[in-house]
Amino acid sequence: MTANENPFENELTGSSESAPPALESKTGESLKYCKYTVDQVIEEFQTDGLKGLCNSQDIVYRRSVHGPNEMEVEEEESLFSKFLSSFYSDPLILLLMGSAVISFLMSNIDDAISITMAITIVVTVGFVQEYRSEKSLEALNKLVPAEAHLTRNGNTETVLAANLVPGDLVDFSVGDRIPADVRIIHASHLSIDESNLTGENEPVSKDSKPVESDDPNIPLNSRSCIGYMGTLVRDGNGKGIVIGTAKNTAFGSVFEMMSSIEKPKTPLQQAMDKLGKDLSAFSFGIIGLICLVGVFQGRPWLEMFQISVSLAVAAIPEGLPIIVTVTLALGVLRMAKQRAIVKRLPSVETLGSVNVICSDKTGTLTQNHMTVNRLWTVDMGDEFLKIEQGESYANYLKPDTLKVLQTGNIVNNAKYSNEKEKYLGNPTDIAIIESLEKFDLQDIRATKERMLEIPFSSSKKYQAVSVHSGDKSKSEIFVKGALNKVLERCSRYYNAEGIATPLTDEIRRKSLQMADTLASSGLRILSFAYDKGNFEETGDGPSDMIFCGLLGMNDPPRPSVSKSILKFMRGGVHIIMITGDSESTAVAVAKQVGMVIDNSKYAVLSGDDIDAMSTEQLSQAISHCSVFARTTPKHKVSIVRALQARGDIVAMTGDGVNDAPALKLADIGIAMGNMGTDVAKEAADMVLTDDDFSTILSAIQEGKGIFYNIQNFLTFQLSTSIAALSLIALSTAFNLPNPLNAMQILWINIIMDGPPAQSLGVEPVDKAVMNKPPRKRNDKILTGKVIQRVVQSSFIIVCGTLYVYMHEIKDNEVTARDTTMTFTCFVFFDMFNALTTRHHSKSIAELGWNNTMFNFSVAASILGQLGAIYIPFLQSIFQTEPLSLKDLVHLLLLSSSVWIVDELRKLYVRRRDASPYNGYSMAV
């Protein structure tokens, strides 16, 4: 967000541009009454500007009409009902539940218990994540003040803010939160921090004068006589008439938008839904096919039904949901270390699908810290002093430049906090104080005593102070503010020798021209003036002053943003900057951060442009647009809807209450951890603890890697389960004895669903993944390439295992050695299959052995298999017998074929799709 209520913006440069619009109250109460005079408001509400409401019956009636002044959340479904609904809302979970029931009916108790446990774990983890994330409305409610200073019938007391009704008279001072939307009828140096509503950091000066404007939609932060519910009084005090309560407030508008927006399903959730349906179709197809084959062979219907159902249940990888959950959870932990806190597990993978990022400017693309980087005095002519970070400019000090800095130092209200070890106050004041060090100057305010001050106001557009160093007869006047307002109070200027020289019209013109030049670079301009003497507090202010010069400052881009944006663009991600700034300022900043703006006519759209477009028109125009200027929260929601209508997967950043609806609507809402409000954090899916745009790059890289990891262990699981299914199906079809007993199948299932499979989900993310384009919203997890890998691996495993089995039963008698050889062969195939599914295109030589969990889990599985063969106790359980070293070498050589064949495939793919993408195949 941009601090558009900075008292010296826009008018500083002589620009006629108004402050950008912000959130509009849905009811328009504040829009209506900001144009009313105080007397008109009092008459409209039939109240008293001193005594408040006096008729108790009237107060009761008003409460009955308008209700209590609090946000009422609709009664939600009970937690138990929500938990139960989690079981039947996911097709894959329904499929697993069906397989558990069938397993139980067929007395396969072990399978039934393991599947039930898997379902319970997955649903519970998902439910807890969802429950914790749906707190945005509660956080919004917390911003409504608990108490108010209410005057009724001439008596003032502190009451619950919920008791307020329209027409009530309330007062407020420093530290109070405005208890309802109020029309201010009295203000004394009143400034209100509206950042939790508008996102604008600067406190807004308020007064009781009606807003005079022909604009039918006066921006919220331009309604200078309105105080909004939940905003904080930073300075001064005031009184106001309540004009809106509860949902008839600006906060109420946000509340209703939040209530009406439903979080869309993530691409991963959609893909898992499709996978559940595909597996269901596959399972029923298997049942039907095998039943028909058995019937044609003359076998009983019941027998064939039991066999086919058992095979169909075996084909369903019941460990898949657990592995997905574990993989996402581990991704959350890794991202937390990179300063990105993810609140919803599926959102981790969604990051990898994002193809549009809508980003705020201030604090995300920029550092959210104003810095002085230009200094100009009249004698510099067409040149100016460029001030860089970390450099010393003491050699550039001359009488005129020194006077600019000293004036900025003295007419300054920033204060140093020992507790926080930094300056606090107006960002422009802080920037000036911090710039002194670059010129080897000290803060000299302690040597001056301030006598009078004219604080900044929206009408004066300048600030003036009168100080002395102990002798009032030697008082001095210092002024800073908008250039045109300061120049009209000056008749002279300081030259390079520090001599006051007449200020001609030509010099005035050059000063305004320089201010425009600096402002066109996205800088905020302050002008300064000085004089000896004093001024009257009640008069017209200082006059006949000496013009000193200009300072230009801005919020510099974060150092790593340009590189991050370049990487995003290479990876097919469209970056859109959304700001409340003017078009010219927005374009200047966009170019500074590395965004490509070829033609501002098409690349920049304003809030007015959005209002004039339908969703379809906006969807078409948005493909060429990189910057949205002068936007409101309503515009942000429109932008997200238009992008989603095109099929884009949208990430939206924000920090204010006004951003919450768009954050909730976006596929990925990203809130700022340092500057963000609680409402924005609760509405978002991810919180950046460092407010740094570059962190999003790391998060998206992690999300992309997680999706490919999910594909990899899905390849492993399906190829293993299909191989086991085919092995049993073929032996049944050819009327052969079962090659594996129940305990051996259980052990294979443990390997398929256990640590070896889970270790594939934590494979380190390949940085080259950012060079691949984002996947589309409707893309399936089971792509053609994945199915090809599954079929290839399962075919080799089945052929190799059947070869060993058929070779061992030549005597037509199944012995313990026969099943041991077959069992061990299948397990070894499984381990080599796990090795080959670590990556879809890179060989093991490129990957190395950096997945510690994989190394340990495979080693443990091999040791477990050897234990099942050689430990007498386990031999009796698995019905195995010892194998010779020759047998083991033979099985290892045979089972390694699945890895060798896939390595050859990967070599072919890399050569075919040779590209500058580090071996990545764009076709996968």
Catalytic residues: 360
Q: What residues form DSSP beta bridges with 578?
A: 360, 628
Tell the burial category of 849 from Cβ atoms under 10 Å away from its Cβ (0-12, 13-18, 19+). Answer: exposed
Number of other residues whose CB lies within 10 A of the CB of residue 813:
8
* Distance, CA of 251 to chain centre: 22
Task: Tell me which amino acid residue 546 is.
Answer: I
Of all helices (H) and strands (E), which one includes residue 29? helix 29-33
One-letter-per-residue 3-state SS of 718-775: HHHHHHHHHHHHHHHHCCCCCCCCHHHHHHHHHHHHCHHHHHHCCCCCCHHHHHCCCC
Task: Tell me which amino acid residue 807 is.
Answer: H
Give the integer Cα–Cα distance in Å for 372 and 554: 7
Tell the burial category of 366 from Cβ atoms under 10 Å away from its Cβ (0-12, 13-18, 19+). Answer: buried
Of all helices (H) and strands (E), which one includes residue 83? helix 79-88
Tell the burial category of 451 from Cβ atoms under 10 Å away from its Cβ (0-12, 13-18, 19+). Answer: middle
Assigned token pair, 543: 């006059």
Number of other residues whose CB lies within 10 A of the CB of residue 106:
15
Contacts of 217 (CB under 8 A, 6+ apart): 21, 24, 31
- Crossing angle for the helix pair 693-733 and 320-337, to the nearest 10 degrees: 160
Q: How many CA atoms, within 13 angstroms, populate the side-chain half-sphere of residue 40?
A: 9
Q: Which 3 state secondary structure label does DSSP give 244?
A: strand
Q: Which 3 state secondary structure label does DSSP give 777?
A: coil
| CB distance 5 to 19 below 8 Å | yes
Task: Tell me which amino acid residue 201 is.
Answer: N
Task: Tell me which amino acid residue 695 is.
Answer: T
Assigned token pair, 872: 């007498």
| CB distance 611 to 605 below 8 Å | no
What 8-state DSSP symbol labels residue 379? G
Query: Concatenated DSSP letters for 624-649?
Result: G--EEES--HHHHHHHHHHHHHTT--
| CB distance 359 to 693 below 8 Å | yes
Task: Tell me which amino acid residue 637 is.
Answer: V
Of all helices (H) and strands (E), which one includes residue 577? strand 574-578
> Which residue, among 596, 593, 586, has the nearest Cα to 694 in the 3D structure?
593
Of all helices (H) and strands (E), which one includes residue 474? none
Give the integer Cα–Cα distance in Å for 623 and 609: 15
What 8-state DSSP symbol labels residue 177? B
Q: What angle do CA 160, 56, 153 make, to 5 degrees?
A: 75
Give the integer Cα–Cα distance in Å for 249 and 171: 18
- Crossing angle for the helix pair 897-912 and 784-808, to the nearest 10 degrees: 150
Contacts of 79 (CB under 8 A, 6+ apart): 131
Number of other residues whose CB lies within 10 A of the CB of residue 911:
8
Give the integer Cα–Cα distance in Å for 314 and 309: 8
Assigned token pair, 330: 């581990």
Of all helices (H) and strands (E), which one includes residue 290? helix 267-296
Assigned token pair, 719: 């190829």
| CB distance 30 to 181 below 8 Å | yes
